[in-house]
Structure 1
Amino acid sequence: MQAHTDKAGTVQATPATGAPAQEPGGAAAPTVPVATPTRSRRDHRIDALRGAALLMMFIDHIPQNLLNRFTMRNVGFADAAEVFVLLAGYASWLAYGRGFTKYGVLPTLQRLFKRCVQLYIGQTIMVMAYVFTVRGWRHFTPVSVDYLEPELAHGLGWVWRVMMFDALPSNLNIMPLYLVLLGGFPIFYLLMRIHRSLALLLSGALWMLVNMDPGLNFPNWLDPDGWYFNPLAWQFLFALGLTASAQTQQRGRDFKRVPALVALCWVYLLFSAIQAFPWALWGLPDLRPFGDTLAPAKSWLSPLRLLDVMAIFYLVQSSEPARRWAAESWVGQELARVGRSSLEVFVVGTILDLYARLIFSTFGEGWALQVAVNVVGLAILISLASWLDRRRTRARAGRPVAPAAPVAAPGATQG
């Protein structure tokens, strides 16, 4: 048997080619096509990490939610958004990076454009759901302007601005970032083809420039400071994901686990956890070594946040036990299913966030509602991901299997 990689990034077994073969319908002796089993070598760590990030984003976007005290933003500088963007870059190389040489430029650009359209539709659905829900809900009970910018709560003059990304409402601003980064993928790819380090070098230089002058940003009609997730800074995290994915593919194995680097990552994450932990919220003595003087900016992706997410990524991607856990454990597989349906889960989760916030503001934040909102919300997202995963599996199983090249009977002659 030999192995080849399909366009989904999995490794499949194919028959060895030592025996002579003929096209189906030839004059050779009768042959029987044999469909070979598929053995997946997909790295489920990426899917599981992305799934965990999506569920944490659902939890974090409900300010009144007590469960968000336990998400990663409370034990480090970075949060689920950094993980999501880094893995978006990693997965983008798997989905499109190899396509230019394997399938051609035009088919790959078409697939990339199709995905961008899907992201744009998802953003439109979320915006419309927010606007019409808030406008409808406020007929029954007052709704704080925090749920929707006042400019969007009245009139229709905002429509063209939101559709052109000139106006980015709060809690609806990460999808436009992802769309811009994915739309710029061909530029990253072209630079990487010139030299593997060129894209990373230029991307890092732009990130450093924005950190020195945060005023460099895309305009936002709703915020004079521009986009909350500054694309000129966050593109560096996306580029790091692309480069890591390309490097892993080229090497054919995980990152090398260097004990000194592992120890350094753990030391930094421990410092990050102590400095970022909300001690006062838990009624504990403040143990932060730098107090309030160290507050890494999220908007332009400050170096401390970048180091935090990169340390987590290295520890996971260099760990064989993490690979086995993601592939074999029940929790790992459930998270991986969520990660494989990232767009659908994100859209539904963002809309559920709005309803959860409205429920809390209308009916209170008691324990019964806390449990109900979290259990129902997480159950909906996990069930949605499981259903989508089963549907994809059935769709693949229903496709006609291309017959293996028939092997000519002994003694048959080739035409």
Structure 2
Amino acid sequence: MTATTSSFPLSGHSSEGRADKASVALNTPPATKRVRDHRVDALRGIALLMMFVDHMPQNLLNRLTIRNLGFADAAEIFVLLAGYASWLAYGRGFPKYGVAVTLRKIAVRCGKLYIAQTLMMISFVVIIRTWRNFTPVPVDFLEPELAHGLSNFWRVFLLDALPSNLNILPLYMVLLGAFPLMFCVIRFNRFLALGLSFALWLLINIDPSVNFPNWLDPDGWYFDPLAWQFLFVLGACGAIEAGRHNGNLPSFSWLKILCAGYLMFSLLEAFPWTQWGLPTIRPLALPSPDKSTLAPLRLLDVLSIFYLVQSSQLARQFSETRLGQALALCGRHSLEVFTVGTVLDLIGRLIFTTFGEGWLFQVVINIAGLWILYCVTVVYERKRNRARELMKPSEPKQPAAS
């Protein structure tokens, strides 16, 4: 489209006006394209792969995951980053797309989480019952209360019964369902939201009996949502703060030293010295902090990790490497990776239990499992890219030259 003469003042100084505008245009720096920060995706990918390794107790590789290198484990990272990602996806969605559209997106995501939970439960039942046709399977693979029949499986589908290794997605569903309320309080006053969330977390740590009911466990949900909501809110607030600094958390040397020192203390306390045949070096020999209530030592551990990663340019550079991009790919498709990984965990545990825990099975199960998970991410990434291509508006046809 050509500019018309009405775009400029019709006066004797029009040429000067055009010159001034050209001068301003030349002196104005070009708008920089916002580059995606892959650190959160890469960190979430690491957490998902560690979950895959950790959920097979016989897997020797889990000696190298953060579960044995500190107080916290991959679950804390997963929930913290879920809060972070929820703010980016839905917290910014409310003002951008409107309340109705964003609420519908949250409902759709919760529905996908429920479907994934249901598919994993059905897969567990089918795999275990099929395996039992050939060799005995310990009842604790499906919880003793559920192992001998299907009469109480309706409790599982109503989230009234949460079997082991199938209890983190229900937590995510509850937290995501409560996100609109969290959003309102955070938008009103972020520090008020943090204060209220902290008070609820503190109450649960003082009285752990306050929990959601679980038919399989008289103590309630293994991940008490009333305690873990604090980590979710911290993740959302972290996204707000990072958004003000180009994706980085403010970098303070003294805070980095404190976080690194705490993680070193956590490492010395939690490291499995005896499993490695090493003398025990524990400064205080503390008992393992409670995971159900997100004990303070676990909370400080995951916050230290997150701060060091999200305030580090080295971590950003790593996320741009080939390995970092592969991990980020896993993080971007977290639900699919977690769902497939959980089913693979069950198969791996059954193989270890049936055929032994020798090095051959260790190598094959880990390499095959990690390769399958990577292939899952590739498939879903291609699917996402195709969907984006279809959503792009078609280029207008150029008129033929006369």
Do these two structures clear the TM 0.5 threshold for a shared fold by scoring above it? yes
Residue identity opposite 1:239 in structure 2: V
Residue identity opposite 1:387 in structure 2: V
Residue 393 in structure 1 maps to residue 385 in structure 2: yes
Q: Which residue of 1 aligns with 2:114?
A: 120
Q: Which residue of 2 aligns with 1:308?
A: 301
Give the one of 255, 265, 268 matched to 2:259.
265
**Which structure dedicates a bigger proportion of its chain to helix?**
2
1:400 Cα deviation after fit: 3.1
In the alignment, the residues of structure 2 paired with residue 245 and residue 205 of structure 1 have an alpha-carbon distance, to the nearest angstrom, of 21
Q: Which residue of 1 aligns with 2:14?
A: none
Q: Which residue of 2 aligns with 1:275?
A: 269
Identity across matched positions, percent: 60
1:394 Cα deviation after fit: 2.7
1:249 Cα deviation after fit: 2.1
In the alignment, the residues of structure 1 paired with residue 211 and residue 395 of structure 2 have an alpha-carbon distance, to the nearest angstrom, of 53
SS in structure 1 of the partner of residue 160 of structure 2: coil
CA deviations on 1:295-347 (whole Å, 9 max, x unpaired) are: 211111000000000001000100112112102x1110000000000000000
Residue identity opposite 1:374 in structure 2: N
SS in structure 1 of the partner of residue 190 of structure 2: coil
Q: Which residue of 2 aligns with 1:231?
A: 225
1:290 Cα deviation after fit: 1.8
Unpaired stretches in structure 2, ≥5 consecutive residues: 1-5, 8-31
Residue 100 in structure 1 maps to residue 89 in structure 2: no
Give the one of 216, 220, 226 matched to 2:210.
216
In the alignment, the residues of structure 2 paired with residue 91 and residue 253 of structure 1 have an alpha-carbon distance, to the nearest angstrom, of 12
1:107 Cα deviation after fit: 0.4
CA deviations on 1:246-267 (whole Å, 9 max, x unpaired) are: 2222444511211111111111
1:155 Cα deviation after fit: 2.5
Give the number of aligned pairs: 368
Residue identity opposite 2:126 in structure 1: F
- Tell me if structure 2 keeps the 8 A contact 1:131–1:152: no
- Tell me if structure 2 keeps the 8 A contact 1:99–1:108: yes
In the alignment, the residues of structure 2 paired with residue 361 and residue 227 of structure 1 have an alpha-carbon distance, to the nearest angstrom, of 27
Q: RCO (CA 8 Å, sep 6+): is it higher in 1 or 2?
A: 1
- Tell me if structure 2 keeps the 8 A contact 1:135–1:153: no
Q: Which residue of 2 aligns with 1:57?
A: 51
In the alignment, the residues of structure 1 paired with residue 273 and residue 395 of structure 2 have an alpha-carbon distance, to the nearest angstrom, of 62
1:72 Cα deviation after fit: 0.9
Residue identity opposite 2:94 in structure 1: F
CA deviations on 1:166-188 (whole Å, 9 max, x unpaired) are: 10001100110011111110010
In the alignment, the residues of structure 1 paired with residue 153 and residue 272 of structure 2 have an alpha-carbon distance, to the nearest angstrom, of 39
Q: Which residue of 1 aligns with 2:242?
A: 248
1:206 Cα deviation after fit: 0.3
- Tell me if structure 1 keeps the 8 A contact 2:66–2:73: yes
1:402 Cα deviation after fit: 6.4
Residue identity opposite 1:48 in structure 2: A
Q: Which residue of 2 aligns with 1:86?
A: 80
Q: Which residue of 1 aligns with 2:281?
A: 287
Residue 363 in structure 1 maps to residue 372 in structure 2: no
In the alignment, the residues of structure 2 paired with residue 228 and residue 383 of structure 1 have an alpha-carbon distance, to the nearest angstrom, of 31
Runs of 4 or more consecutive aligned structure 1 residues displaced over 3 Å after TM superposition: 250-253
Q: Which residue of 1 aligns with 2:193?
A: 199
Residue 352 in structure 1 maps to residue 344 in structure 2: yes
In the alignment, the residues of structure 1 paired with residue 186 and residue 81 of structure 2 have an alpha-carbon distance, to the nearest angstrom, of 18
Give the one of 104, 111, 114 matched to 1:110.
104
Q: Which moved more, 1:385-394 or 1:47-56?
A: 385-394
- Tell me if structure 2 keeps the 8 A contact 1:73–1:80: yes
Unpaired stretches in structure 1, ≥5 consecutive residues: 1-18, 21-37, 407-415
- Tell me if structure 1 keeps the 8 A contact 2:66–2:72: yes
In the alignment, the residues of structure 1 paired with residue 143 and residue 336 of structure 2 have an alpha-carbon distance, to the nearest angstrom, of 25
What is the RMSD computed on CA atoms of the aligned residues? 1.7
Residue identity opposite 2:149 in structure 1: G
In the alignment, the residues of structure 1 paired with residue 392 and residue 380 of structure 2 have an alpha-carbon distance, to the nearest angstrom, of 21
In the alignment, the residues of structure 2 paired with residue 324 and residue 266 of structure 1 have an alpha-carbon distance, to the nearest angstrom, of 20
- Tell me if structure 1 keeps the 8 A contact 2:37–2:247: no
In the alignment, the residues of structure 1 paired with residue 392 and residue 289 of structure 2 have an alpha-carbon distance, to the nearest angstrom, of 53
**What pairs with 1:20-99 in structure 2 (closer than 5 Å)?**
41-99=35-93
Q: Which moved more, 1:188-197 or 1:268-277?
A: 188-197
